[in-house]
Structure 1
Amino acid sequence: MTINEENYFEQVIGPLRQRPRRSDPDGLDESEEWWIGHFEYLKERGYMMRPRYRPGWQPSYIPGSFGSLYAEDAQRTPHPYIMDALRMSDSLIVALKLVKTSTGEDEITMLFSDDDHNSDPHNHCVRILEVLPVPGEDAEKILVMVWMRNVMDPRFRTIGEAIQFFKEMIESLQYMHRNNVAHRDCSLNNMAMEANSMFIRQYHPMAPKKRYDWNGRALHFSRTRRPPRYYLIDFGCSRMYDPSQPRPLEYSLKSGGYIPPEGLADMPCDPFATDVFFLGNLMRTSFLDGDPVMRQPGLSGFEFLRPLVIWLQMIPRNVLQWMKLHLGSPVSLESYGGGNYAHERFRKMSFFPRRFEQSIISSGRLQ
């Protein structure tokens, strides 16, 4: 529901740090200045930010020149509330995420990071390494996590690699639901992978194809040789429910640019069901059919998964079936992804997704 969605973000989440337009495109903005203002505090806690975010920073390039495209200290974080840093004790790259306590994101993330949950192999929720208070600000906290990559980079090379990603995301969502938590924004943007084992040398968090020392490309193994681990991230929209009470219906939020049928009809629905709908939609738009809105083509070789995707997108009518889904059930990745598919390579289809292209041809707009 659009109105409720807008109210939710305005009243509960809201912008943590504004990123205003600047006359100097290479200069520091307000959100970057905030992080620089906390440099000494973070250093005392054992975290070192990059040179750009240290007090007194002067650019190594001529502002406004092409040098800003290639300089390491010109690389800015795309999200004003997320900063990368090195943990000084072991040089691990971490993400520092500024969150509002009013969202409950810190509580839900810490729940899945405690000892009981952390040891469960089905738990693929992002882990918290440490929670830092923000000096002088009780309404905000800084969550410290391992820095992760976009799940699509480096690209998948075999169908089996993609199937492993699907398996871990299904396990993760089921694990959250078994613990009475709905993610509510289960899109590709809120999935990430811990891929340090894939890389020969550490990659740069803002330019992941380059090495951290800015000296050449970040070479890596395939996902098959060095499997990454996939995680659900960003619990700012998530909700925890009382298992002793009937689960309330919620107006769905738009996730990944999509909204379930109940949302389009302005009807509240089971938040667990919408999670599963979005998971099936992700598999459809990112792998099977492509996404005409993002002009992203589909991938050949995944048609065998269509029955599973259709089944997942019908889950809003039967959540109990979803909770019983396991890798050996009739409607599972194990059933569709074995045999010759596991190591088979795939390729991108035409620029337009198959169904989208067919609709254009049938309407006579493409000759």
Structure 2
Amino acid sequence: MLGPPEPPELKTGEISSLLFKHEREWVDMQPFLLSVGYKLRPRYDPNWFPSWGNTYVTEEPHEDALSSMRSDVLDAIRIVDNQRVVLKRIETNSREIKIIRYLSQIQDPRNHTIPLLDVIPLPPDNSCSLLVTPYTRRFNHPAFHCRAEYVEAMQQFLEGLQFMHDHGVSHFDIAPQNMMMDESRVVPAGSHFTSPKSHTGYPGIFSWNNRCSVSPVRYYYIDFGLSMYFRKGKDAALTTGTLRTFNTIPELSLTVPYNPFKVDIFQLGLTMHKLIDTYPALKPFRPVADRMTSTDPNDRPEPAESLQELNWIANQIPPQKLRAPIVEKTGGVSYIARSAMSMVRRDSPRQERYQGY
């Protein structure tokens, strides 16, 4: 009997066809980036040859088969100290560069904006640059283990929001995809940029520490592409326009001016609501989110006020209950079982079998 057809072989010069167009642009930049001290993954080396051989496709998992779906963001290694970083390509004269530079230079313990490590102008005309920031992961994965972890995260995001507002900056795009955490303590084995539920890009066991067992964990805001700076401060700020994320915020308008700082507060409140809806045990904190998402912008408290309320509620909960495991509303039996296991050994890493990319 005839077996399945052999995969077609790559012809000379066709390896680049395995890459998306925007990936080939990163390949073109690779020699320059290497010359200024940043190394991309093997897939983006001009001399890359697929680890699975001279075929178009592979049925087995290979790290260099993982493609980056975003054209403007990629991970790299800073060669001088082997630090993992993220490169974001933006226009050199953009407002985003000015804002992140401005915020990064302010020394304040409340500053939870992502640090700016470098700005790399790109040849040939320097019209675009790469922002270099530390490698981080989404703040809400791995799942929260207990209320104390939620409190620590929201404390920092409220502090960070007050910090930005005190310095005249409205983020204007606060959403889970722009709220990150330093994974170094939580996922000490690291994670793959394209496949963050794996350590190396290969399917298998994904291990992590409960955040409460390695606290403090540092949280950050990223992506200032929609951010605005108001020299006269937050009280006099007005703007117009709508948003893709959280587009149901009541005051958004193309014609009637509104205060974007109040929108920030609403956005963070909505994020809190999503978490509370996911974890029923977080219900005691709902009043904080309710006030932040008031339909009347003037009724929304300052982030510092919400932080006080959050802390007051947390202080009413006995410490053992703050650190007791909580379960996602949509969690299955396996997640509940893992939660029970964590009660037996709080110092043991959490593990998850991840079978896909």
Secondary structure at the aligned position of 1:267 is classed as strand
For residues 350 and 246 of structure 1, what CA distance do their matches in structure 2 show? 40
Alignment length (residue pairs): 312
Displacement of 1:75 in angstroms is 1.2
Find the counterpart in structure 1 of residue 56 from structure 2: 63
Counterpart selection for 1:275 from 261, 264, 283:
264
Find the counterpart in structure 2 of residue 334 from structure 1: 311
The C-alpha deviation readout for 1:218-263, integer Å capped at 9, x for no partner, is 5322111223211010000000011279734222432534331112
2:31 is aligned with 1:40: yes
Where structure 1 has 5 or more consecutive residues not aligned to the other structure, the ranges are 1-23, 290-297, 352-367
2:313 is aligned with 1:299: no
Cα separation, partners in 2 of 1:41 and 1:326, compared to 1, 3 Å: same
The amino acid that maps onto 1:239 is M
Counterpart selection for 1:164 from 152, 166, 169:
152
Contact 1:46-1:87 at 8 Å conserved across structures: yes
Find the counterpart in structure 2 of residue 343 from structure 1: 323
Counterpart selection for 2:236 from 238, 241, 247:
247
Where structure 2 has 5 or more consecutive residues not aligned to the other structure, the ranges are 1-14, 332-357
The amino acid that maps onto 2:285 is L
Contact 1:203-1:210 at 8 Å conserved across structures: yes
Find the counterpart in structure 2 of residue 292 from structure 1: none
2:166 is aligned with 1:178: yes
Displacement of 1:146 in angstroms is 0.6
1:1-367 equivalences in 2 (<5 Å): 27-61=18-52, 62-67=55-60, 70-114=61-105, 117=106, 119-212=107-200, 217-227=205-215, 228-243=217-232, 247-254=236-243, 256-263=245-252, 267-284=256-273, 286-289=274-277, 298-314=278-294, 317-318=297-298, 321-322=301-302, 324-325=304-305, 327=307, 329=308, 332-338=309-315, 339-340=317-318, 341-349=321-329
Secondary structure at the aligned position of 2:129 is classed as strand
The amino acid that maps onto 1:230 is Y
Displacement of 1:94 in angstroms is 0.5
Cα separation, partners in 2 of 1:215 and 1:45, compared to 1, 3 Å: farther
Contact 1:252-1:271 at 8 Å conserved across structures: no
Normalization by structure 1: what TM-score? 0.78
Normalization by structure 2: what TM-score? 0.80
Displacement of 1:321 in angstroms is 3.9
Identity %: 27
For residues 194 and 49 of structure 2, what CA distance do their matches in structure 1 show? 19
The amino acid that maps onto 1:106 is I
Contact 2:285-2:313 at 8 Å conserved across structures: yes
Secondary structure at the aligned position of 2:225 is classed as coil
For residues 55 and 205 of structure 1, what CA distance do their matches in structure 2 show? 20
Contact 1:299-1:349 at 8 Å conserved across structures: yes
For residues 335 and 199 of structure 1, what CA distance do their matches in structure 2 show? 30
Greater relative contact order (Cα 8 A, min sep 6): structure 1 or 2? 2
Cα separation, partners in 2 of 1:310 and 1:244, compared to 1, 3 Å: closer
Displacement of 1:79 in angstroms is 1.4
Contact 2:241-2:254 at 8 Å conserved across structures: no
Contact 2:242-2:253 at 8 Å conserved across structures: no
Contact 2:238-2:257 at 8 Å conserved across structures: yes
The C-alpha deviation readout for 1:47-93, integer Å capped at 9, x for no partner, is 111100000212122423323xx100011223110111111122211
